[in-house]
Chains A and B, each alone.
Chain A
């Protein structure tokens, strides 16, 4: 008699089926690399910021103006993520700041292993000199980058006035993981139907601990607050 099913036929056999409880996050591999990136960044003497937004929210422009505003007070390095071209890195290099361009060749986000490679190139560009602040400019996308920790210390989400104030509630996962919410291009407020109250309140509902700064890189409005945030961060005065 067959031991498995109890039938009288001897000709057949049951293959051994085995059930294994795994209970492991699929994001574990990325998470481990992200932790290692974080200590790598700290060994470089720096704090890292992951900048996430849709394409065209002003991430690179924000960086250009930030570099100008900080001048020599902080040593900055930049890792640029894009699907194609060195254009963003070239804009940063034109400011005299070391910049590594990561081209994903189609991938919609940066992940921790890509940033790991970028950190080594950045170290090479700096000839081992310590940095204070590393900006990682993610691929322009308000969805996919939210899933991947890169080893940053702070995650900053940009939303520009022309995009509309309903975005926090439409992209909750992205805002849930954020530390700072920057509302950019505020000089355009008179021309757009952007409800500042709605954007701030809804973002705060999704992530109650969120810091919010509204600014314009071109008019300079609110920019001091952003620079003060960065300085406090490097001085470890922001928790």
Chain B
């Protein structure tokens, strides 16, 4: 549920940037969503697309969410591996890593999530 308040703070930031650059409309917004940010991409997208209609400048804005592949540090051999989340059982809902997964180098299951906790406004396109 905190996705809605984060979408609201994104919109406030966008309105500020539009003013700063004398732009009338924002057409495209690119956001990097860290895999361990605790933020659900679909909920964030949903919240953004509802809230954007409140402002003239963002009405037509398209949100592009970049989702970097999650990385894990193996606590046994220190190898860092990237692992794609599993396919979701529910169409349209992002998959998450479930069950046991192991280090591709030493096969240990002691994998610690690395980085990817942030939500970053990367780029905007405006007119």
Contacts and interface: CB of A to CB of B under 8 A. Distances in A.
A113 to B, nearest CB: 11
A171 B108 CA distance: 20
A114 B123 CA distance: 29
Interface string B1-41: 11001100110010001000101000100010000111100
Contact of B112 (A107, A144, A205): A205
B127 A17 contact: yes
Contacts of B39: 147
Nearest to B100: A169
B75 interface: yes
Contact of B17 (A17, A22, A176): A22
A211 B125 CA distance: 45
Contact of A144 (B21, B27, B38, B124): B38
A14 B17 CA distance: 22
A55 interface: no
A205 B2 contact: no
B120 interface: yes
B53 interface: no
Contacts of A176: 36, 113, 117
B9 A22 contact: no
Interface residues of B, number: 33
Contacts of B93: none
A53 B39 CA distance: 18
Nearest to B2: A144
- Tell me if A's interface is mostly helix, strand, loop or mixed: mixed
Contacts of A15: 127
Given A174-B38, A205-B111, A27 B118 contact: yes
Contacts of B120: 23-26
A101 interface: no
Contact of B9 (A29, A143, A144, A205): A29
A160 interface: no
A34 to B, nearest CB: 14
B111 A173 contact: no
Given A17-B127, A18-B23, A144-B2, A26 B36 contact: no
A16 interface: yes
28 contacts: A15-B127, A17-B126, A17-B127, A18-B125, A18-B126, A19-B123, A19-B124, A20-B21, A22-B13, A22-B121, A22-B122, A22-B123, A23-B121, A23-B123, A25-B120, A26-B10, A26-B13, A26-B121, A27-B6, A107-B1, A147-B37, A147-B38, A148-B2, A173-B38, A173-B113, A174-B38, A176-B117, A206-B113
Interface of A: 15-27, 29, 107-109, 111, 143-144, 146-148, 172-174, 176-177, 205-208
Given A18-B126, A19-B125, A148-B2, 13 more contacts: A16-B127, A18-B21, A18-B127, A20-B126, A22-B13, A22-B124, A23-B120, A26-B121, A108-B1, A147-B6, A176-B36, A205-B75, A205-B109
